[in-house]
Amino acid sequence: SGPLRSAGISDRAEGAAAGSGRGGGKMPCKKKTYGKKTPAKRQLAEVFPAGEVLADKSRKEWKLGVPIGQGGFGRLYLADVNSSKSVGSDAPYVAKVEPSQNGPLSVEVMFYLRAARTDQIRKWTESHKLEYLGVPKYLAFGLHERNGNSYRFMIMDRFGRDLQKIFEENGKRFSHKTVLQLGLRILDILEYIHEHEYVHGDIKASNILLSYKNPNQVYLVDYGLAYRYCPDGVHKVYKEDSKMCHDGTIEYTSIDAHKGVAPSRRGDLEILGYCMIHWLSGCLPWEDNNDPNFVRDSKIRCRDNISVLMDKCFPGKNKPAEIVKYMEKVKLLSYEEKPVYQHFREILLQGLKAIGQKDDGVLDFGLSENGGLQTKPMQKNKRKAAAASKERNEAETEDTGSPVKKKRTTSNAVTTRTRKMTSPNPKKVTATRKRVQK
């Protein structure tokens, strides 16, 4: 409890971080209901100058470099161990900083302390015979006072580019092999965090980052609003809440989330399915529509008839059989059911075999280096994809009478989303969050 309090985490938060102490072991889930959610107020951190020194809970000092990102609640800086040298552009670490009264960073710290400690990740990686596990490792956390204000900070390893930028620069296409390998790596991550009682709820290309040193490794980031779906072995009950409808990133969020149901394991797998379809085909039938009810209804129709989804995304092409099988298997999962992750992996491995490939650990993004691209944006393909998307949208508008469609926000824009956070107290907190790409 000492380290948590020294980082400025409340007793209530400390209880959530400490958890049951099961260390990832399986525990039977029981049903339990919780109270209503209340709004949370957020403030944005001030900009710190390069050279600002932060002392973590163990009194180790870290020096900040230039800011490299900003979210709805905090800021991201290059960082390094404190020394007489300035922090350069090749800094190996980053620092997340937010006002101490905000919640997301404390939730993220709790996630790492409870579910993603370095020893836990190492043991899991070894026992499951993985080359690596794409869950970030945090290094330190603490409180910092500046100009009479208190800030919470966390030091993390630095990562490379996010997949959304690479996806767009590659004409919104990834190769078949790369998509299936990404799916395999994300399944590894999801199995790990699910076994530790958390779901992510916002899997998407902008939340998947390349390793700074190895572009063949990907990491799922942003656990500031990770949801503890089964705290102390007590699974959330299926309950639709109209006040929480359409939670998440609209293109990818699960049908459960559209209905205001708390995130679950099947929701994460559904979201990953939408991502793989988008990465492979370059489109989703509802991606240009900002009406969440239309998007929800479209997803429900496609879930009920997956061939319709495949026809819309892969018109006149050979449909990827493994994606069909994957989505069919997700469809069969009940809300509280534990997925058999190996079955999903086997489906994707069969897909690799069908195209004459294997899971060799090499991700082909056309990278010359981590941060540069050999492949130029495919303008011709972009125009074709845009024309096809327009035709689909016009057809759906005529059939359904849906509102006029708006162009989807790109990765350079700020996305507003509402997510739920848990604590051991029955009261939940609603957090409205703006995201920017890292």
- The one-letter amino acid code at 330 reads V
Nearest to residue 158, comparing CAs of 120, 210, 193? 210
Tell whether residue 96 is among the known ligand binding residues. yes
C-alpha to C-alpha distance for 402 and 396, rounded to whole angstroms: 8
Which helix (H) or strand (E) covers residue 291, if one does?
none
Catalytic pick from 56, 188, 202, 222?
Answer: 202
Length in residues, the chain = 438
* Closest by CA position to 251, among listed 402, 139, 411, 102: 411
What's the rounded Cα separation, in Å, for the pair 196 and 193?
A: 5
Amino acid at 176: H
Tokens 């739920």 sit on residue: 420
Q: What are phi and psi of 431, to 5 degrees?
A: -120, 120
- What is residue 66's three-state secondary structure? strand
Its sign, for the CA torsion 304, 308, 312, 317, is: positive
SS3 272: helix
**From CA 231, how far away is CA 220, in angstroms rounded?**
22
338 CB-near residues (< 8 Å, 6+ apart):
194, 265
Tell me 416's DSSP state. E
Residue 94, by phi and psi: left (phi above 0), alpha (psi -120 to 50) or beta?
beta
User: Is-contact 35 420, C-beta < 8 A?
Assistant: no
With tokens 């889930």, the residue in question is 29
State which amino acid sits at residue 201.
Answer: G
**CB-facing half-sphere around the CA of 92: CA atoms within 13 A:** 8
Contact 116, 157 (CB under 8 A): no
- CA 11 to chain centroid, in Å, comes to 27
Closest CA relative to residue 208, chosen from 259, 173, 249, 164: 164
Residue 202 annotated among the catalytic residues of the structure: yes
Q: Which residues participate in catalysis according to the annotation?
A: 202
The binding site for ATP comprises 96
The binding site comprises 96
